[in-house]
Amino acid sequence: MSAYRLDGREVADALLDEVMEAIRSLDLPPKLVFVRVGDDPASISYVRSKERLARRAGIFSEVVVLPADADQQELLSLIARLNENDRVDGVLVQLPLPDRLDETAILNAIDPEKDVDGFHPVNVGRLWSGQVGLFPCTPTGLITILDHFGIEIESKHVVIVGRSNLVGKPAAALFLRRHATVSIAHSRTKDLPALVRQADILVSAVGKAGLITPDMIKQGAVVLDVGFSRDDGKIKGDVRPDVAEVASYLTPMPGGTGLVTVAMVIKNTVTAALLRRGGND
């Protein structure tokens, strides 16, 4: 048996169709502003791929680039201007920022209604308390993948490896909202294989190639690989490819969760526009 491939491209395309339909209901297409500091090649490439998708969806986007030596105040003033600008629906500050900048203070300065990355504490609170809001793109992407392929979440035991604010914790909140039973593992978890073996749905968000091996997987489990690392220039996930011999469904890496994450940024921008302009998401 070989696991069914949960193709991220297929899900991203479906999301984009949905988004384009929603944009047609707006008087004016949404506008998303990317803020980038310095010339980190990975940040340039991430912003470019999000911009490309925004264009394809019919969203206006703009990239504001600050010099690598920009100070905290410059960035905060820029965010304040974008918050006040009624034409702007979404603001995304590309991470990581240079070390000397206070990343938390900067993310907290973004208007929660324009926070398309879903990192603002107001949106974190909305997520955990079951309210409407803007939620982080990778975890919402995971739920979208499962829904797209008709995979049941309710009452399933979801094991999430990784507890970051970016992926692990918001994923736990989203799966709880969908009535799953959730376990979260991290670097100090005792006997990771024993816990992972209990998973009906496994999410691995660590960044260590080959961490998840076939002997750790329950027969027929669904496996979502979020981890990303490079080995000899090759992109690797956390999940060893031969897990496909035990799992029922598996996201490929590359070509899986990452493509859906980028599409979720676009979906969140449209959600922000609809919420700000008094529509429904």
Residues assigned a catalytic role: 50, 94, 117
Q: Give one DSSP letter per residue of 53-65, joined into a string.
A: HHHHHT-EEEEEE
Residue 226 or 274 having the CB closest to ligand NAP: 226
Is 168 near ligand NAP (CB under 6 A)? yes
Four-residue CA torsion sign, 59, 64, 65, 71: negative
Single out the segment in contact with ligand NAP by CB under 6 A; choices: 14-22, 71-79, 96-104, 160-168: 160-168
The HSE-up count of residue 199 (CA atoms within 13 Å, CB side) is: 31
Helix pair angle (121-128, 168-177), 10° resolution: 30
Is residue 136 close enough to count as binding ligand NAP by CB under 6 A?
no
Select 211 or 270, whichever has its Cβ closest to ligand NAP.
211
Site residues for ligand NAP, window 200-259 (CB under 6 A)? 205-208, 226-229, 257-258
- Residue choice 55, 147, 186, 194 for contact with ligand NAP (CB under 6 A): 186
Among 106, 167, 203, 266, binds ligand NAP (CB under 6 A): 167
Distance CA 24, CA 266 (A): 14
**Cα 187 to Cα 125, 192, 194, 211, distances in angstroms:** 25, 9, 14, 12
Q: Closest CB to ligand NAP among 196 and 270?
A: 196
Nearer to ligand NAP, 82 or 262 (CB): 262
Task: Give the residue, chosen from 166, 180, 243, 246, that forms a contact with ligand NAP under the rule CB under 6 A.
Answer: 166
| Non-local CB neighbours of 269 within 8 Å, separated by 6+ positions | 30, 32, 54, 59, 89, 90, 116
Can residue 197 be called a binding residue for ligand NAP (CB under 6 A)? Answer: no
Query: Applying CB under 6 A, which residues contact ligand NAP?
Result: 138, 161-164, 166-168, 185-189, 192, 205-208, 226-229, 257-258, 261
